[in-house]
Amino acid sequence: MTANNFKKLQKNEVQGAALYQKIAEMTKNQKEKETLLAMSKDEWKHARTFGKYSGVNVKPNRFYIFFFSLLVRILGYTFVIKFLEKGEDKGIAVYERELSEIPELPQILEDEEKHEQELLDMLDEERLQYIGDIVLGMNDALVELTGALAGYTLAMQNTHVIAMAGMITGVSATLSMAASGYLSSREQSQKNAVKSSVYTGFAYLITVALLIIPYLVMPQGSYIAALVITLVIAIAIIAAFNFYISIAKGRAFKKNFLLMSAISLGVSVITFVIGLVVKNVLGIDL
């Protein structure tokens, strides 16, 4: 194995160590801070081991630390850490045959596969406690609004009118979902009902905004094109969310992605047909 390959592995460990230390400085929970600092300590130890074979000193990239620190604030540290650990494990696996020649390998692999996983399991980020509420809000918005927009598209045939109807539907449904989330959580008494309703309503509202954008920016007569773009956005939202969950919660990506996509697109097709019936059979025109 070349010194350059050792340098690549060393750089990954150095940047991971620096990032975990940075995240530890960002968190207020003492237990989480200790967990992250312990992870950073392990990464520095691995970096020193690879440094013995690369023969060089490596410093973390400032932009790398800034970028992933920003992602931590947006997506949460659990997702970022698990994502980086996954990439790190793959990097070591690529060179595992060559690495077998170094005596420190068993200890490094043990740290990566056992100790760090135990540390990751200790992480208990608030947003992951409310992931069910986020799923509820986002999934309902995808199913209900894509279906409603598909029906409105054939019935109204005007992007601006469709956008107006979609916004009215979306905002009223957001308030309804938030209220339902509050009452449901209050009955279960397992988590903060107000936070639960906020997560549900916020997820619903953001999804609604993204789905309506094509109807707001497209010309009035381009309603079919707007619908197609909206469905593409819906699929992209489903893919992005399921990728996040697959990393943060360790769930299967493909199965959940296909299920959510099938439900959302299936409802859209049904309501599109209903819109066609309303337009042509009942003779209702706008």
62 burial via Cβ count (<10 Å: 0-12, 13-18, 19+)? exposed
What H or E segment, with its residue span, contains residue 123? none
Averaged pLDDT score across all residues of the chain: 79
Same domain, 177 and 150: yes
Does position 226 have pLDDT exceeding 80, yes or no? yes
Predicted TM-score (pTM) of this structure? 0.67
Report the percent of the chain where pLDDT is more than 70. Answer: 78
Does position 37 have pLDDT exceeding 80, yes or no? yes
| pLDDT tens-digit readout, 244-285 | 878 777 777 888 888 888 887 887 778 777 767 766 666 555
Domain boundary among 124, 148, 173: 124
Domain count for the chain, please give it.
2
Rounded CA-CA distance 87/264 in Å is 31
Rounded CA-CA distance 68/235 in Å is 25
SS3 content of the chain, % helix, strand, coil (to 5): 85, 0, 15
Same domain, 13 and 97: yes
Rounded CA-CA distance 140/138 in Å is 6
Same domain, 274 and 145: yes
pLDDT at position 112, please? 66
Same domain, 113 and 223: no
Six token digits for residue 4: 């350059």
Q: Residue 216 belongs to what domain range?
A: 128-280
pLDDT at position 213, please? 92
| pLDDT tens-digit readout, 134-185 | 777 787 888 888 888 888 887 788 898 989 988 888 888 888 878 877 777 6
Lowest mean pLDDT among 83-92, 211-220, 238-247: 83-92
Domain boundary among 95, 124, 153: 124
DSSP class of residue 55 equals: -
Look at residue 176 and tell me if it is in a domain. yes
Domain boundary among 75, 96, 124: 124
Question: Virtual CA dihedral for 69, 45, 125, 243, nearest 10 degrees?
Answer: 70
Same domain, 57 and 107: yes
The amino acid at 97 = R
